[in-house]
Structure 1
Amino acid sequence: MDGLIKLVSFVTIVIFLPGQTVLGRGCYRDPKIYTVKVAAESQHVLILKAMIKCLNSTAPLDEKLKGQYCPSVFDNLMCWPHTRAGIVLQQNCPDYINNFNTQEKARRECLFNGTWFIHPETNATWTDFTQCMRPYNPTDPLMEDLPKIERLNMIGYSVSLTFLSVAVVVMLSLKRLHCQRNYIHINLFVSFVLRSIICLVKDVFHTPDGDTRVINNTVTLTTLGSNWPCKLLFSIFNYIIVANYTWIFLEGLFLHNIIFVTTFKNSKRFFMYIIFGWCSPLLCIIPWVIVRRLLEDTL
């Protein structure tokens, strides 16, 4: 009995660990991404924090250095420190502006007279964010094979979906196979079927992009709608992944019980397995959705 309790505790911890839940092993893709994705509300808050940090961390330019240095400035997006005249200062693109490539550089020119470059069209100081809006083009050799890996992934899940569906239909059609043990098998197969379906849907579902433009050093973000279909898809994805692991656990638990506890008799509380298998994942997913909505409402 002590061994069973330890086994149940270990499997429960593994199933409900947040990190494992989000990863969804088997169909989760996590390449190194350098393109920023952030909600408009969060972006405005982050810009305000950057401005406050800039104002608090920079001191006024010494009178003796005027003409030799350009004064520090916040250009409505990022902070620029005192810069020696005649220098084109470069900084990494900010990581809080939607669709900016953080691997590129933003540039701001300090003229030889100790003043920042003024753009002739806007008649205002100007920062060059052109490079920041370039898409990230990785040089990793693995990226060349990524389409092949994706096709192999889709083929594997398609084959799995086909055979699992056939197995479920056969087990439901033949009455001689109707028993509690096989009902557990059917629910496990259904969880794998749902996992295959959601992974195939996720692979062809693209994260909606925002339209980011920089005008007079002010960023404008435009997105179509609230992107709720994308968020709903990944919430369902995480639920199915947890449900799949839960049914794997219940499969072992049920077999253990009928061998060592009920000695091959039908369980009188079989419905509890069904309820636990499909409802317990909600105890993990609902708090996750609430926390993401309140603290990190991003795509």
Structure 2
Amino acid sequence: MMNGTLCDELYKNFNYSINEDYCRHTFDNELCWPPTKAGTNITQLCPRKKGTDVTKLAYRICTDDGQWDYNNKSDMKEKGYTYYDDCFLPRLRDLINMCKAMEFETCLKISTRTRQIEMVGLSLSLISLVISLSIFCRYRILKNNRTKIHKNLFIATLLQVVVRLVIYIDQSLEQRIIENVPYLCEACYVLLEYAKTTMFMWIFIEGLYLHNIITVTVFQEYSYMKLYFWMGWAIPLLMTAVWVFTMVFAVDNIGCWYLYYFLPYYWILEGPRTAVILVNMLFLLNIIRVLIVKLRQSHTSEIQQVRKAVKAAIFLLPLMGIANILFVVDFRLFKSAWKFALWSYTTFFVTSFQGFFIAVLYCFVNGEVRIAVRNSITVYMSLRNHNGIPRRNSAFVSGVTAMEPEQ
């Protein structure tokens, strides 16, 4: 590995022309630059670093007086300045330029606060999803096809939340274990993207299920559950496999697929996710149209239940779509710190609290869930109260102790 000592050793016997001025060799902590004639530029391939394109060129300028150009940076006057601008990935370069314009300290503060919002949102989502899954698994009355779809959505979202928390916690440690273990970091990001894709697919299935119930005259929902299962877990697996295959063979991996979401190959996953949101929006519009007609004709309990499910979808689907659209917004749109802060806080608030929103909409405010939990609490309180009263004769009726009056 190159360092200052090796660089000095490499050019200690360099033959300088007597009649020409030279900028002396130097090491800029990344590359060793050879002696260069005054008034010329010198280029080298970019170093293998995270976020760089090793096929691009970095360069230095040797001025006419035989001194390295230092780009008006006083701390670089002695060794000179290396222009690495072209080395960075385009989206990363935009981000760096934006942070330069608003000062790096401000940019860092916004990033730190954003990560704090994410940790709160992910933690709350984790707790909410675990509680929701426990409720759906505990009560038999909630075991139907609609709640099976909900549970799969919860599992997919929970998987994403857990992986993201593990990655973030590892990044906060002084010794980043995941990043330093070969292939473990890439495996974590593959699992994360698979979980994200399954979450979007199960949201699509939620919309498809509602659409079929409302619009299909004879809908055999039981016969479709296996198809839904394969759609929810197998199709995302195939999409993720295609993306991984592309990344392995098309990207020069210099460590953990750094900033992989800035690469065009990310649209292998992001494109279908966005398409899923758009199709679900179309489903939702048609569902609302048909539901309005049916509500005028009938007010059965089944229609009322579907209407409640549609209300949840009306809130959730635009929320997921907004998060997806905001995440791919070009950084170059932000010319001031407050705009970047607003984008950052809004985008990552929505994405990190997704699990919480899903748990609230499909579990905590679900009428069936509330009735099941309320009945369970009533039974528990009744049993507790009766167990505390002396009695001679008792009988259990429907799982609740009932006292018999003395004759």
Give the TM-score, by structure 1 length: 0.53
Query: Matches of 1:250 and 1:97 in 2, distance apart?
Result: 43
The structure 1 residue matched to 2:194, chosen from 239, 257, 280, is 239
Instruction: Go from structure 1 to structure 2 and tell me whether the alpha carbon gap of 1:92 and 1:263 turns closer, same or farther (over 3 Å shift).
Output: farther
1:205 aligns with 2:203: no
- Whichever structure has more helix as a proportion of its residues is 2
The Cα of 1:258 is off from its aligned counterpart by 2.1
The Cα of 1:106 is off from its aligned counterpart by 7.5
Q: Secondary structure at the match of 2:171?
A: coil
Instruction: Go from structure 1 to structure 2 and tell me whether the alpha carbon gap of 1:208 and 1:158 turns closer, same or farther (over 3 Å shift).
Output: closer
Please tell me whether the aligned partners of residues 258 and 265 of structure 1 are also in contact (alpha carbons under 8 angstroms). Answer: no
Please tell me whether the aligned partners of residues 161 and 196 of structure 1 are also in contact (alpha carbons under 8 angstroms). Answer: yes
The structure 2 residue matched to 1:266, chosen from 208, 221, 228, is 221
The Cα of 1:257 is off from its aligned counterpart by 1.2
Please tell me whether the aligned partners of residues 164 and 189 of structure 1 are also in contact (alpha carbons under 8 angstroms). Answer: yes
Query: Matches of 1:295 and 1:207 in 2, distance apart?
Result: 30
The Cα of 1:184 is off from its aligned counterpart by 0.6
Q: Which amino acid aligns with 2:47?
A: Y
Query: Matches of 1:251 and 1:100 in 2, distance apart?
Result: 38
Q: Report the counterpart of residue 181 of structure 1 in structure 2.
A: 146
Q: Secondary structure at the match of 1:199?
A: helix
Structure 2 unpaired stretches of 5+: 2-16, 69-78, 85-95, 257-407
The C-alpha deviation readout for 1:226-270, integer Å capped at 9, x for no partner, is 621111111111111111111111110011112222546533131
Instruction: Go from structure 1 to structure 2 and tell me whether the alpha carbon gap of 1:293 and 1:131 turns closer, same or farther (over 3 Å shift).
Output: same
Query: Matches of 2:125 and 2:138 in 1, distance apart?
Result: 20
Q: Which amino acid aligns with 2:235?
A: S
Query: Matches of 2:106 and 2:31 in 1, distance apart?
Result: 34
Q: Report the counterpart of residue 148 of structure 1 in structure 2.
A: 113
Q: Which amino acid aligns with 1:151?
A: Q
Q: Report the counterpart of residue 294 of structure 1 in structure 2.
A: 249
Instruction: Go from structure 1 to structure 2 and tell me whether the alpha carbon gap of 1:132 and 1:101 turns closer, same or farther (over 3 Å shift).
Output: farther
Instruction: Go from structure 1 to structure 2 and tell me whether the alpha carbon gap of 1:225 and 1:204 turns closer, same or farther (over 3 Å shift).
Output: closer
Q: Secondary structure at the match of 1:267?
A: helix
Q: Aligned runs of 1:1-299 on 2, under 5 Å?
A: 67-68=19-20, 83-84=37-38, 95-98=46-49, 139-206=104-171, 227-261=182-216, 263=218, 265-296=220-251, 297-298=253-254, 299=256
Query: Matches of 1:207 and 1:151 in 2, distance apart?
Result: 11
Q: Which amino acid aligns with 1:150?
A: R
The C-alpha deviation readout for 1:158-183, integer Å capped at 9, x for no partner, is 11111121111111111111111110
The Cα of 1:194 is off from its aligned counterpart by 1.5
Please tell me whether the aligned partners of residues 60 and 83 of structure 2 are also in contact (alpha carbons under 8 angstroms). Answer: no
Q: Report the counterpart of residue 30 of structure 1 in structure 2.
A: none
Instruction: Go from structure 1 to structure 2 and tell me whether the alpha carbon gap of 1:226 and 1:172 turns closer, same or farther (over 3 Å shift).
Output: closer
Query: Matches of 1:101 and 1:250 in 2, distance apart?
Result: 39
Instruction: Go from structure 1 to structure 2 and tell me whether the alpha carbon gap of 1:94 and 1:281 turns closer, same or farther (over 3 Å shift).
Output: same
Q: Report the counterpart of residue 392 of structure 2 in structure 1.
A: none
Please tell me whether the aligned partners of residues 31 and 47 of structure 2 are also in contact (alpha carbons under 8 angstroms). Answer: no
Query: Matches of 1:290 and 1:202 in 2, distance apart?
Result: 22
Instruction: Go from structure 1 to structure 2 and tell me whether the alpha carbon gap of 1:92 and 1:197 turns closer, same or farther (over 3 Å shift).
Output: farther
Query: Matches of 1:183 and 1:164 in 2, distance apart?
Result: 14
Query: Matches of 1:208 and 1:227 in 2, distance apart?
Result: 18
Q: Across the two proteins, how many residue pairs are aligned to each other? A: 203
Query: Matches of 1:286 and 1:171 in 2, distance apart?
Result: 31
Instruction: Go from structure 1 to structure 2 and tell me whether the alpha carbon gap of 1:101 and 1:83 turns closer, same or farther (over 3 Å shift).
Output: farther
**Percent identity of paired positions between Structure 1 and Structure 2:** 22
The Cα of 1:130 is off from its aligned counterpart by 9.7
Query: Matches of 1:132 and 1:188 in 2, distance apart?
Result: 48
The C-alpha deviation readout for 1:132-172, integer Å capped at 9, x for no partner, is 99xx9962513123222212211111111111211111111
Please tell me whether the aligned partners of residues 119 and 165 of structure 2 are also in contact (alpha carbons under 8 angstroms). Answer: yes
Instruction: Go from structure 1 to structure 2 and tell me whether the alpha carbon gap of 1:129 and 1:194 turns closer, same or farther (over 3 Å shift).
Output: farther
Higher Rg: 2
Please tell me whether the aligned partners of residues 207 and 230 of structure 1 are also in contact (alpha carbons under 8 angstroms). Answer: no
